[in-house]
């Protein structure tokens, strides 16, 4: 009778089942009968890594992925040790002869007592979320909350920002408001919205370029002050009216270095208050420009413009002769390019995006050979390029207008310069302190005076637009 050989693999001949490895039988620290720690098979990956480290002369502990800390904290680099055939016993290794037997591996280190190298490891850095939060806080640190003062009541939002941040370009101001980055009492606002005292204005980070400290010479300051004073038509303690020349911009912009607003800095008073602009004129429009000397006067004069208490009369030289010698132009105007501050205006329909109502009265003062007309305008509203757009709309564009003049087979008469023939002739406005009317007229600029003399127009002639209705 043939008997079966006994089964190998453990007591009672049972094989260990796959996937049921008993880790408790192979825990570090328990030595087998031959003195080796029961840490797994002799040919485990750990044994191979340790043997390779010993061959390279390194300490296997520095590359130990099975340590108590794992890969979460890496130990600091250690200097390489000389190659040794026998691993030196560690402090926590057994001191018996079996543990010191040549060729044997030291027992696994216990996780309860971390090594000094692991204890001295540097603290982990900030997480990715913490880094993002810190970056957001840094970007948001430039947010400002401003409170509207009593003397800033009634100011437009864009003018308010320009007054508070003189270094901020006006185009950037309009972009901030248009994109909704600026909030008034927590709500979005439009550039022409008015502010009231006590309102809270949240201003986003402006990222202003640091101004270069360019010293201004005393001679230049005196020249600027003398030039501005040479333009004064009227002046008192609260306001002054300038005769703005042709070609001088009122405010700075792209490529504009010399402008009225910058020249006014030379007239800063002992109290530190700089004269302020109240309204604007186009760069090529000459004539009356009102300047306020105090913030209170600026707010009062601005209210006079909004309430239409100010009366303005313009003179222009236009192409052709209108059939209706005295009339009214009422349209809606909108920018052709909304993002361009100096874009051409177009006649729009009611309800179109960005369209505003514009009303102008006109009257013909004189004409020359049925080719040119001297027109007097009285604008009721104050839209951008209003008179220039309205003159072109009725078929009689202003001579020298680079944006709106479009007449077929037109030739500029000899002796007339190709410059915009538009003058802010007269302005009547209540005084900001007394309320009494201030009535000032500006003379013709040199190029218009030359055309008037050539065409035989008399500048002292009665102006019929003075008695035109207001609405």
Q: Collect all residues with Cβ–Cβ distance below 8 Å to 104 and sequence separation of at least 6.
A: 35, 36, 98
The helix/strand/coil state of 189 is coil
Query: How many CB atoms are located within 10 Å of the residue 270 CB?
Result: 5
Asked whether 367 and 385 are in contact (CB, 8 A), the reply is no
Taking the chain, what is the end-to-end CA distance rounded to the nearest angstrom?
Answer: 132
**Residue 241, strand partner residues:** 234, 290
**SS in 3 state form for 427-442?**
EEEECCCCCCEEEEEC
Chain centroid to CA 271: how far? 31
Torsion of CA 180, 176, 344, 167, to 10 degrees: 160
Query: Which candidate, 156, 421, 423, places its Cα nearest to that of 306?
Result: 156
| Alpha-carbon gap, residue 27 to 32, rounded angstroms | 11
What are φ and ψ of residue 367, in 5° steps?
Answer: -145, 160
The helix/strand/coil state of 346 is strand
Long-range CB pairs of 443-449 (<8 Å, 24+ gap) are 443/243, 444/315, 445/245, 445/246, 445/286, 445/287, 446/246, 447/246, 447/417, 447/419, 447/421, 448/286, 448/315, 448/317, 448/421, 448/423
| Alpha-carbon gap, residue 457 to 459, rounded angstroms | 6
340 counts as catalytic: no
Q: Which of the residues 282, 284, 401, 463 is marked catalytic?
A: 282
Asked whether 259 and 248 are in contact (CB, 8 A), the reply is yes
> Active-site residues: which are they?
282
């Amino acid at each position: 009778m043939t008997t079966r050989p006994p089964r190998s693999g453990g007591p009672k001949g049972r094989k260990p089942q796959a996937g049921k490895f008993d880790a408790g039988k192979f825990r570090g620290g328990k030595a087998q009968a031959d003195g080796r720690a029961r840490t797994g098979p002799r040919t485990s990956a750990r044994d191979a890594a340790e043997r390779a480290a010993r061959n390279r002369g390194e300490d296997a502990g520095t590359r130990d992925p099975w340590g108590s800390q794992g890969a979460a904290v890496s130990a600091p680099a250690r200097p390489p040790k000389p190659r040794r055939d026998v691993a030196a016993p560690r402090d926590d290794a057994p001191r018996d002869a079996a543990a010191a037997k040549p060729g044997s591996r030291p027992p696994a280190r216990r996780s309860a007592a971390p090594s000094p190298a692991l204890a001295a490891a540097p603290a982990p850095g900030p997480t990715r979320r913490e880094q993002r939060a810190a970056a957001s806080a840094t970007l948001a640190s430039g947010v400002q909350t401003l409170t509207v003062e009593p003397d800033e009541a009634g100011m437009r939002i864009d003018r308010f920002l320009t007054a508070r941040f003189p270094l901020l370009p006006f185009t950037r101001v309009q972009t901030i408001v248009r994109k909704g980055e600026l909030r008034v009492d927590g709500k979005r606002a439009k550039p022409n919205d008015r502010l009231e005292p006590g309102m809270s204005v949240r201003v986003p980070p402006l990222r202003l370029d640091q101004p270069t400290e360019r010293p201004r010479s005393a001679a230049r300051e005196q020249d600027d002050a003398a030039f501005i004073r040479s333009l004064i038509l009227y002046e008192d303690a609260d306001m002054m009216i300038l005769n703005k020349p042709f070609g001088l911009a009122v405010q700075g912009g792209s490529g504009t270095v010399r402008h009225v607003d910058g020249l006014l800095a030379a007239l800063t008073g002992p109290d530190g208050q700089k004269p302020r602009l109240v309204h604007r004129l186009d760069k090529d429009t000459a004539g009356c420009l009102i300047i306020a000397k105090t913030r209170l006067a600026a707010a009062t004069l601005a209210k006079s413009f909004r309430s239409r208490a100010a009366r303005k009369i313009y003179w222009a030289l236009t192409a052709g002769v209108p059939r209706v010698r005295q009339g009214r132009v009422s349209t809606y105007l909108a920018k052709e390019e909304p993002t361009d501050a100096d874009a051409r205006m177009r006649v729009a329909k009611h309800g179109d995006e960005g369209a505003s109502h514009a009303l102008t009265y006109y009257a013909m003062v004189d004409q020359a050979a049925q080719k040119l007309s001297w027109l007097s305008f009285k604008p009721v509203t104050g839209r951008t390029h209003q008179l220039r757009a309205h003159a072109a709309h009725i078929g009689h564009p202003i001579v020298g207008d680079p944006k709106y003049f479009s007449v077929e087979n037109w030739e500029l008469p000899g002796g007339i310069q190709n410059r915009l023939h538009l003058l802010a002739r007269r302005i009547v406005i209540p005084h900001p302190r007394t309320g009494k009317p201030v009535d000032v007229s500006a003379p013709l600029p040199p190029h218009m005076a030359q055309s008037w003399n050539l065409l035989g127009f008399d500048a002292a002639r009665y102006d019929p637009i003075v008695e035109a209705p207001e609405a």
